[in-house]
């Protein structure tokens, strides 16, 4: 079924999880030219990227994210970069994109940064890091706006949802909001549509 045709009011909790999380990548695909971290106000995504870098999964980390229209005291990408430096990642292994305020801008603004740092034409694979519930949107945004020859490996942060997440109102409402946003952006033409087995 195409995501654009999904009725969000009729989804089960398992279907919501399938829709938002594209699944774990194969071990053989867990290598790339760059680890791209989508901006966020906390360090969970940065920690995962640092772990992947230290495992030798890619030689460069790209931290993406601005100050969310002035709502944040620090620029997200710089906050994550400083943390990575403290964790022993060398400065030459880090690039930053500091202009974006949301997922679409993360990708659009990162294209120029990646081209200047690596040469966009040379990139064979990107490892993209975000929260598990944000990965489908990240994947579709990358597919829509990044050059179509670049494949993506989607990696979620190691945060376990409680078994009863469906009964925890803030978590359930956040997941339902992400589903509605995903469908809305596809129907507006901001994101590519995709077939998904639910």
pLDDT in tens, 36-66: 999 987 899 999 999 999 999 999 999 999 9
In whole angstroms, what is the distance from residue 125 CA to residue 34 CA?
7
Cβ atoms of residues 67 and 105 within 8 Å: no
From the number of C-beta atoms within 10 Å of its C-beta (0-12, 13-18, 19+), residue 96 rates as buried
* pLDDT for 69: 63
- Determine the pLDDT at residue 70: 67
In 20-84 the beta strands, taken as DSSP E runs, fall at 34-37, 61-64
- What would the pLDDT profile of 71-115 be if each residue is shown by its tens digit? 767 899 999 999 999 999 999 999 999 999 999 999 999 999 999
Mean pLDDT computed over 180-197? 95
Distance CA 6, CA 186 (A): 11
Q: Output the pLDDT for position 74.
A: 85
Contact 47, 37 (CB under 8 A): no
- Which among 181, 189, 110, 94 has a CA at the least distance from the CA of 152? 110
| Whole-prediction pTM | 0.93
Integer Cα distance of 195 and 198 in angstroms = 10
Give the mean model confidence (pLDDT) for residues 161-187: 89
In contact, 43 and 63? CB cutoff 8 Å: no
pLDDT at site 164: 83
* Average confidence (pLDDT) over 122-133: 95
User: Does pLDDT of 135 surpass 80?
Assistant: yes
């Amino acid at each position: 079924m195409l995501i654009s045709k999904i009725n969000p009011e009729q989804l089960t909790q398992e279907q919501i999880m399938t829709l938002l999380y594209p699944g774990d990548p194969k071990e053989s695909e867990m290598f790339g030219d760059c680890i791209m971290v989508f901006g966020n106000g906390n360090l969970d995504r940065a920690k995962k990227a640092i772990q992947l870098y230290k495992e030798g999964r890619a030689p460069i980390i790209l931290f993406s994210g601005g100050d969310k229209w002035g709502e944040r005291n620090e620029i997200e990408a710089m906050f994550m970069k400083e943390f990575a430096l403290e964790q022993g990642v060398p400065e030459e292994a880090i690039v930053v994109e500091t202009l974006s305020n949301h997922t679409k801008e993360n990708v659009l603004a990162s294209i120029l940064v990646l081209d200047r740092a690596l040469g966009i034409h040379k990139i064979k694979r990107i490892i993209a890091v975000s929260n598990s519930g944000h990965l489908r949107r990240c994947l579709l945004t990358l597919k829509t706006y990044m050059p179509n020859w670049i494949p993506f490996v989607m990696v979620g942060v190691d945060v376990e949802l409680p078994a009863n997440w469906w009964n925890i109102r803030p978590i359930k409402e956040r997941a339902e909001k992400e589903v509605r946003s995903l469908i809305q952006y596809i129907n507006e033409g901001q994101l590519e549509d995709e077939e998904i087995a639910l």
